[in-house]
Amino acid sequence: MTTTTRNNPGAAGAAPDPGAAPAEKTYWCELAWLNGTVEPHVALEVTAQGRLGAVRRDVEAPPPGATVLRGLTLPGLANAHSHAFHRALRSTVQVGSGTFWTWRDAMYQTASRLTPDTYYTLARAVYAEMALAGITCVGEFHYLHHAPGGARYDDPNAMSHALVAAAADAGIRITLLDTAYLAAGIGPKGRGEPPNRQQLRFSDGTAEAWAERAAAFRPEGGHVRVGAAVHSVRAVPARQLRTVAQWAEERGAPLHVHLSEQTAENEACESVHGMTPTALLAEHGVLSPRTVAVHATHLTDDDIRQVGRTGTGVCMCPTTERDLADGIGPAPALDRAGATLSLGSDSHAVIDLFEEARALELDERLASRTRGHWTAGQLLRAATEGGQAALGWPEASRLETGALADFTTVALDSVRTAGPVARLAAETAVFAATAADVRHTVVAGRHVVRDGAHTLVDSVPHALTGAISALRP
């Protein structure tokens, strides 16, 4: 199978690799969130290796030549769960009613029109939108591997390369979570139903073939790391789960999995295997401290204890979970059980990690009719430290000496954020700010978003419009 060769976005004239070495510089923060507290007048000194050489408090005035960041500066936000091509569905799937499964049919139609070229163009625009929202790293849960009909491209990882190039040209880091998606459903005796026509381009046939292709993917650039994913117990037969888990274990790589997003998934798994999806994953070695369960919406008490015992993290995607009417997951119970929480925008109904963070709290308030399940600081940790760890970038989690120089600044003088005292800046960011209040995004010491404008993509709205229009029938 052949494919159009896209112009190499990493070639001359393209955006710089965010993992490459920047010039040394200093950023002066009006306010900075340091280890859970809001500190005034902080100088962040960036080394030529794109790390924080020093973090200095009580610097009353900007040092000569320093770049001034007005507002609250946070570690870079991490979008721990993304399907970039779902951005093309925004608004179009809000017409009429339906279920997750009718939404999925619309998603398949969009997926069927993507090529490596058009996926690069779309993903670059989507990742640029993320940078504008303060996101410095994305976890791309990637299963759109092959051409329509399932034939492999000349480069079997052409779609993966397109995503990695798109992230570089949008100026953010990426963890490419190469996803095993082999079956249409659990099927009789758990052997898996054959992929349907739309799913053929997702499937490598077997977990062994998936592992071989994934192992051959060797992306270049300091902005990219590679992990693995099990799409779900619906899409990977039980006997093949361990192959994916071992692939990740051998590489010390993150391993993500959609877990119990739908009650229909639970019912099918219990009917065939006599156990919940959580128990099935545990039995086949998928759950571990390196694993992140995405959604985890419909769990039993035993499931929650199993997630906690194994040290498995959980990525909540509240805006997608409510958009698709999936339900409200047991996040407080998972937190108490010991699961590290992270956040993702998933289907990109919106791309706004502040909205995801406050939705985690506010949705639970609706479900429980009580307030204060998490502090603003805990929610910010989920959006920063929790997400970076989930994606295999723990060195980007905090503003401290030696950390990657990845951070974002939220305006505190917009119509949404003006008024509160400085010591409440974290509460303001979580419970009032939106992505529109992000003024600066810095990755590896480089200014990717300056004063609310992307420095690498001339017009992100125009780029999104063009990329999405090209996919319409």
Residue from 147, 161, 103 nearest 346 by CA: 103
| Choice among 346, 363, 406, 437 that is catalytic | 346
DSSP three-state, residue 236: coil
Q: What is the pLDDT of residue 97?
A: 73
Catalytic residue, candidates 81, 86, 284, 295? 295
> pTM score > 0.85 for this model?
yes
Residue 112 neighbours by CB under 8 Å, 6+ apart: 148, 198, 201
Angle, to 10 degrees, between the axis of helix 116-132 and the axis of helix 158-170? Answer: 30
The pLDDT tens digits for 61-96 are: 999 999 999 999 999 999 999 999 999 999 887 877
Active site residue 348: no
Say what the pLDDT of residue 384 is: 98
Q: For position 22, what pLDDT does the model report?
A: 63
Q: What is the pLDDT of residues 196-226, one digit of tens each?
A: 999 999 999 999 999 999 999 999 999 999 9
* Of residues 158, 145, 67, 71, the one with CA closest to residue 111: 145
295 is catalytic: yes
pLDDT on residue 263 = 95
Average pLDDT over residues 23-44: 96
Q: What is the pLDDT of residue 181?
A: 98
Containing 354, the helix (H) or strand (E) segment is helix 353-368
Q: Edge to edge, what strands does the sheet with 67-75 contain?
A: 52-56, 37-46, 25-34, 67-75, 407-410, 438-443, 446-450, 453-454
pLDDT in tens, 331-366: 999 999 999 999 999 999 999 999 999 999 999 999
